[in-house]
Structure 1
Amino acid sequence: MTDDRFKKFEERHARLKELSDAELKARFWELCDQVVTPIAELARTHTSPSIERSVLLRMGIDSQSALGVVNHIHQAGLLGKGAGHVLLKLADKHQVDVVKAAAMVLEDKEVLQGLFGEVAA
């Protein structure tokens, strides 16, 4: 390391050395949040039904079902959450696998209501 980099490392190390384990853990999660927040926002604003169908296919949902599920999720205003995320949340809520969760969405799109603590359209 160059002298300048070494000096900066020592300064950061000294600051972190003074923190307790709980403070280090809190700092870790704060930094993780700073990293993930812009990525999550980018994913939320730059998805499409095609991308979301592709995700569902990789989760084991057949293509016909994926088309219908993504359409229902889009109509409910939840596409920005990610179709896979929506199905995982629904599956967890009802203690079923993702294929059954997809079938639930196809049978009754009202199952999406309030899934994220908000009213779906």
Structure 2
Amino acid sequence: MERVDTYLEKKEKFKDLSDEQLKQRFWDLLDQIVTPMVDNAATHTSPAVERSVLLRMGFNSLDCKVIVDRCIEHGLMGKGAGHVVLKMAEKLGLDYKEAGQKLIDNEDLWEEAKAIFGGVK
């Protein structure tokens, strides 16, 4: 099987571009590829991502699961589980780890959390 080499044909459209123009073309193309991924990441999350955030905040995996599950139950998943914990810590005047533990232990605090985010349904 013979390999069809299209390199020489394809490079023709770039032969008159300067190094600076080639660099700009590269960055423009990269932006076209990356922008949809960044936009998607800004508006979408998953339980696994949220548990990962909480793990990095220092919560153990069992606590992460409870917090994420309750975020889902109360319609706060889109706000980010770590964000919910941080906002509750701010509201309660506690360290975020203490606030997370209170969210795990006290179901009534979730109504306050929803109120912080505008009464999410």
TM range, smaller chain? 0.5 to 0.7
Counterpart selection for 1:73 from 71, 74, 83: 71
Equivalence map 1:37-116=2 (5 Å): 42-43=40-41, 45-113=43-111, 114-116=115-117
Aligned residues between the structures: 84
Q: Which residue of 2 aligns with 1:117?
A: 118
Q: CA RMSD in A?
A: 2.2
Q: Which residue of 1 aligns with 2:34?
A: none
Q: Which sections of structure 1, spanning at least 5 residues, go unmatched?
A: 1-38
Cα drift, residue 111 of structure 1: 1.0
TM-score relative to the length of structure 2? 0.61
Cα drift, residue 76 of structure 1: 0.5
Give CA deviations for 1:33-65 in whole Å, capped at 9, x if unaligned.
xxxxxx6x6346420111000000001111110
Calculate percent identity across the aligned residue pairs: 42
User: Which structure's CA Rg is the greater one?
Assistant: 2
| C-alpha separation in 2, matches of 1:91 and 1:100 | 8
Asked if structure 2 preserves the Cα contact closer than 8 Å seen for 1:44 and 1:80, the reply is no
Q: Which residue of 2 aligns with 1:5?
A: none
Q: Which sections of structure 2, spanning at least 5 residues, go unmatched?
A: 1-37
